Chain A
Amino acid sequence: MRFLLLVFFLLFSAVSQAQVSRAKMPSPPPAPSYLNVYLLNPELRYERGNSQELEDRRPLNFALAYQAHKFTLLAEYARFTEDTGNSTSGIDRTHQDLVLWLRYHAFNFEAGNAKFIFYGAAGAGGYEEEVKTTLMGTSRTDKSSLQFMSGLGAGGEATMAVNKGFAFLAGLEGRALFASDFDPNPVWSAIVRLGIQITL
């Protein structure tokens, strides 16, 4: 079943790409490209916690992106911890992931110095988790191997140009993060991105 699903998705994506290729028009004049640095990204993820309810996680999140034409390639690092137990018996889990996102800018608007883009995104990357187990003052640390994860997202971003080479960025994105050990799978996430844009 999983194999059939895989074949179906690969065929479908190939056909879609083929249609895009056929519809290609002569290239427009070269558009400027940008380096986006997202310094402050408050994120909320929901996963099943120790209470067995969906609990929110607030990862530390940094991202760096290259934007050109209608695409943005964004590398995102996120890290959060979950501490459970008490001073006698405790478990601290640290999750960190690195995901490479490809955004397609579906809609663009401009108004004065402000630019708005709305995009869909797909990402793939890896994550690892580290667990520190403490019992009566002694502890040990175990680490998982790198695990595959992927994601789908959609969002909007606004740019306010200060001058030709520099702008401030603000965006909001919702996404679903997939991995075999995520619970639930997908993990839902919302992120606000604040940063700067440098024209290359």
Chain B
Amino acid sequence: MKRVLSRIIAAICLSGALVACAPQSDSASEAGTVRVLAPMSNSKAGYSLDILELKGIEDLQTVSGHFARFFLSPRIVDNHLQGTAPKGRFIRNGGGDYIPANEITQQLVTVYAHMQRLAQLDEDLGAGGVNKWPRDIGVAVKVKGGVYNNAFYDGKTDSMLFVPYDQQGLPIAINGGILAHEHFHSLFYKLVLKESPYKGNAHDRPEFLNSVGITEEKARERKVLPIMTRIEGEPMDASTQYFYYHAALSRGLNEGLADFWGWMYTGDPDFIAQSLPNERSARSLKAADENSVNALPSLNIVQRALNIYYSSGDEKAMKQYVVGLAYSMATSYSRVMKRFTDIYARERSIDSLQARKDVAKILVKTLPKIAEGFQKLEGRYYTSVDFMVSFIEQLGAMHEAECSFVKDVLNNTNSDLTVKFACKKDEQERWSVEKTAVKAPAESESETASSESVK
């Protein structure tokens, strides 16, 4: 018996020695700059598998570092994400590159890589310092009732949240356009919404599903909107309409500009459809007829839509209707911004990427002006015209085609019949938009002499 025990002890100790000899996990000890394989979007070639460098990595196994840290199915405590970090699985190939060995690892690596790029892009576009790094990112987020195929930005926790993806398209967490879209929400939240009374509608924690983001459910909501025309209830009172209007407008603007950001980042006007094919027709930045892209949601149209929804008598569903309306408005904003960018590139003979970056830079400067507009309303309605005017103020001198497009958008959007917009050229051949007061059309079609340049 003694011999038996001795042999067993010897075998155990020998095996223990072998374990002690084993080198530490490569991925656990890897830090600094690490070369990994990730599916990345390229504005020319679409998506491809690239070996790229992740910088500032502190722990490759959890893919945490300077640009991102991840939380698995996090809880929210004191406006912070709380939870364990997901653990990645890698192999190291002959070239010394780390290859994600399962889907979640690939997603962690890809999100990190995009955060790294977006941080640089923020710097390039004048938004450096708006966000704090590393970004907090929740993966495999569990939402009561089971929600799939979504991504959110939550302003209160300043985090990006991904729920599981169960479709056959490009998973949302590796869709660079959607990541850029969500990243834009963080800029919009900090530069526009943070002090706004209308942020609650988009970011209320109990209304988690209403957090701004990419959602497929919203497409279904939109589909039911046109049939909600049964007038049953009382018309909306002024203060309710005022609230819902600005809730829809701020969210529509936020979503629309975020869609533009996704296109700006990837060059793909259908970046959402890569993951959510059902969204193609509603969210594509590519209109069937480009010439039809010449207006933003006007004050009258939005008010009329809200009144129709409200009059349907279903107050509980009103919030959903507002969300659906906001997404419809969003597509107008994103398409107008894209078409302007295309014209900008053509007029200035620059490539699309440069034009997208230039326009994005102007948008970054415009965001604080939108915030100022919201803060100084004093009972007045903030309109799409106000947004466009702020945008061209930051843009500066335009070329003729740019001015002509902006002028058309302003005139087609403007609900104030006493005002018209026109293009004006100065001595140095620089174009700007001029606001002109006109008499009511019924009285006279001639314009008055009074005019005011918006640039």
CB atoms of B15 and A142 under 8 A apart = no
Which residue from B3, B17, B25 sits with its C-beta under 8 Å from A180? B25
In the complex, per-residue mask of A78-122: 1 if CB is within 8 Å of any chain B CB, else 0: 000010111111110100000000101010000000000000111
Docked CA distance A151–B20 (Å): 12
CB atoms of B11 and A121 under 8 A apart = yes
Residue of B nearest to A23 (CB): B3
Which residue from A19, A91, A140, A144 sits with its C-beta under 8 Å from B6? A19
Docked CA distance A194–B26 (Å): 37
CB atoms of B106 and A89 under 8 A apart = yes
Residue of B nearest to A104 (CB): B7
In the complex, per-residue mask of B368-411: 1 if CB is within 8 Å of any chain A CB, else 0: 00000000000000000000000000000000000000000000
Docked CA distance A151–B37 (Å): 31
Contacts of B14 in A (CB 8 A): 9, 13, 122
Q: How far is the CB of B64 from chain A (nearest CB, A)?
A: 15
CB atoms of B168 and A87 under 8 A apart = yes
Q: Is there a chain B Cβ closer than 8 Å to A179's Cβ? A: yes
Contacts of A149 in B (CB 8 A): 22
Residue of A nearest to B88 (CB): A183
CB atoms of B11 and A102 under 8 A apart = yes
Contacts of A23 in B (CB 8 A): 2-3, 6
In the complex, per-residue mask of B1-25: 1 if CB is within 8 Å of any chain A CB, else 0: 0111011111111111111111111
Of the stretches B94-102, B230-238, B358-366, B435-443, the one at the interface is B94-102
5 contacting pairs across A/B (C-beta < 8 A): A91-B106, A122-B14, A135-B39, A145-B92, A150-B18
Q: Which of B3, B8, B22 has the most CB of A within 10 A?
A: B22
Which residue from B6, B91, B103 sits with its C-beta under 8 Å from A84? B103
Q: How far is the CB of A112 from chain B (nearest CB, A)?
A: 25
CB atoms of B102 and A84 under 8 A apart = yes
Contacts of B91 in A (CB 8 A): 93, 129-131, 142-144
**Range class of the A interface residue count:** 35 or more
Q: 3 closest pairs, A vs B, by CB?
A: A9-B17, A16-B10, A84-B103
Q: Besides A85-B171, A131-B100, 18 other CB < 8 A contacts?
A: A9-B17, A10-B17, A19-B6, A48-B89, A52-B87, A82-B101, A89-B39, A89-B103, A89-B106, A89-B171, A91-B101, A104-B4, A104-B8, A131-B99, A145-B92, A148-B22, A152-B12, A185-B25
CB atoms of B92 and A178 under 8 A apart = no
CB atoms of A13 and B49 under 8 A apart = no
CB atoms of B169 and A88 under 8 A apart = yes
Docked CA distance A23–B4 (Å): 11
Q: Is there a chain A Cβ closer than 8 Å to B52's Cβ? A: no
Q: Given the known inter-chain contacts A93-B102, A152-B15, please indicate yes or no for A183 contacting B20, CB distance below 8 A.
A: no
CB atoms of A17 and B10 under 8 A apart = yes
Chain B residues within 8 Å of A, Cβ to Cβ:
2-4, 6-27, 37, 39, 46-49, 72, 86-87, 89-94, 97, 99-104, 106, 140, 167-171, 174
Docked CA distance A164–B9 (Å): 34
Docked CA distance A89–B173 (Å): 11
Residue of A nearest to B90 (CB): A181
Q: Given the known inter-chain contacts A48-B87, A183-B89, please indicate yes or no for A135 contacting B8, CB distance below 8 A.
A: no
CB atoms of B11 and A104 under 8 A apart = yes
Which residue from B3, B11, B16, B102 sits with its C-beta under 8 Å from A50? B102
Q: Is there a chain B Cβ closer than 8 Å to A31's Cβ? A: no
Residue of A nearest to B274 (CB): A88
Q: Given the known inter-chain contacts A131-B91, A180-B23, A183-B89, please indicate yes or no for A89 contacting B8, CB distance below 8 A.
A: no
Q: How far is the CB of A94 from chain B (nearest CB, A)?
A: 10
Q: Given the known inter-chain contacts A19-B6, A129-B101, A131-B91, please indicate yes or no for A151 contacting B15, CB distance below 8 A.
A: yes
Docked CA distance A122–B18 (Å): 10
In the complex, per-residue mask of A146-181: 1 if CB is within 8 Å of any chain B CB, else 0: 001111100000000000000000000000001111
Contacts of B18 in A (CB 8 A): 124, 148, 150, 178
CB atoms of B171 and A86 under 8 A apart = yes
Contacts of A13 in B (CB 8 A): 9-10, 13-14, 17
Residue of B nearest to A139 (CB): B49
Docked CA distance A128–B3 (Å): 37
Q: How far is the CB of B28 from chain A (nearest CB, A)?
A: 8
Q: How far is the CB of A125 from chain B (nearest CB, A)?
A: 10
CB atoms of B87 and A135 under 8 A apart = no
Q: Given the known inter-chain contacts A16-B6, A85-B103, please indicate yes or no for A150 contacting B11, CB distance below 8 A.
A: no
Q: Given the known inter-chain contacts A9-B16, A122-B11, A144-B92, please indicate yes or no for A91 contacting B102, CB distance below 8 A.
A: yes
CB atoms of A138 and B17 under 8 A apart = no
Q: Which of A16-38 contact B (CB under 8 A)?
A: 16-17, 19-20, 23
Q: How far is the CB of A135 from chain B (nearest CB, A)?
A: 5
Which residue from A12, A93, A179 sits with its C-beta under 8 Å from B13? A12
Residue of B nearest to A107 (CB): B4
CB atoms of B11 and A120 under 8 A apart = yes
CB atoms of B103 and A150 under 8 A apart = no
Which residue from B8, B13, B90 sits with its C-beta under 8 Å from A9? B13
CB atoms of B13 and A16 under 8 A apart = yes
Q: Is there a chain B Cβ closer than 8 Å to A189's Cβ? A: no
Contacts of B100 in A (CB 8 A): 91, 131, 133
Which residue from B15, B93, B101 sits with its C-beta under 8 Å from A150? B15
